[in-house]
């Protein structure tokens, strides 16, 4: 008899709690957008550059790539979602004049963010630029993304960009940063 009373009390308690569920009484519509960057970075806003809008669009097509699939988070090759054409275009010599922003110590950024980018305190607004590895002369066209901190602080670089400039993913090289 006691088990029936306890079971009934538990069932009534669960029914009352189910009635308290805000989702049961409120209807909301949520739109979700999936991008290769966090929502704060999905809309880049104004890009500081001396390039024409057509050049910016072309550079963006080179530097952006989708995030890797959740199941592919095992190796560097699986995390790199850039195409061979993007890698080739990103490695080309600059076509426009560039401004040297400075040198920075580079480390691997979030490997799940696709594309060629650098998050650096050397810029205060998004832009398009290039990173250069003076140790071997290799460079990569990248999105320049502001990073809070002193300009003497280090920078985070995407996995494909580090690979393109010939840097081991565990190294901390000093690289040069340019704005296009």
pLDDT tens by residue, 27-64: 333 333 334 333 334 344 555 666 677 777 766 666 67
39-179 topology per CATH: Barwin-like endoglucanases (2.40.40)
Kindly state the DSSP code that residue 66 receives in the 8-state scheme. Answer: P
pLDDT tens by residue, 137-154: 999 999 999 999 998 889
Asked if residues 47 and 56 have their Cβ atoms less than 8 Å apart, the reply is yes
Q: What is the mean pLDDT of the chain?
A: 75
Nearest to 64 by CA among 104, 35, 94: 35
Q: Provide the H-helix boundaries in the chain.
A: 2-19, 22-25, 39-42, 53-63, 76-79, 84-91, 159-164
From residue 9, alpha-carbon distances to 2, 15, 19, 117 in Å are 11, 10, 16, 59
Cα–Cα distance for residue pair 86/116, rounded to 1 Å: 9
State which of 14-23, 48-57, 74-83, 124-133 shows the largest mean pLDDT.
Answer: 124-133
pTM, full prediction: 0.63
């Amino acid at each position: 008899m006691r088990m029936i009373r306890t079971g009934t009390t538990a069932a009534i308690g669960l029914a009352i709690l189910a009635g308290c569920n805000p989702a049961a009484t409120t209807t909301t519509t949520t739109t979700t957008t999936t991008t290769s960057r966090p929502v704060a970075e999905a809309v880049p806003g104004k890009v500081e550059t001396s390039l024409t809008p057509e050049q910016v669009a072309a550079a963006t097509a080179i530097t952006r790539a989708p995030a890797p699939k959740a199941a592919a988070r095992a190796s560097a090759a699986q995390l790199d979602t850039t195409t061979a054409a993007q890698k080739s275009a990103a490695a080309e010599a600059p076509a426009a004049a560039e401004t040297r922003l400075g040198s920075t110590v580079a480390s691997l950024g979030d490997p799940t963010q696709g594309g060629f980018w650098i998050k650096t305190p050397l810029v205060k607004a998004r832009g398009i630029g290039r990173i250069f590895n003076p140790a071997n002369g290799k460079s990569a066209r990248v999105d320049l993304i502001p990073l809070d901190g002193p300009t003497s602080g280090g920078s985070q670089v995407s996995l494909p960009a580090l690979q393109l400039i010939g840097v081991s993913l565990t190294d901390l090289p000093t690289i040069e940063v340019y704005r296009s």
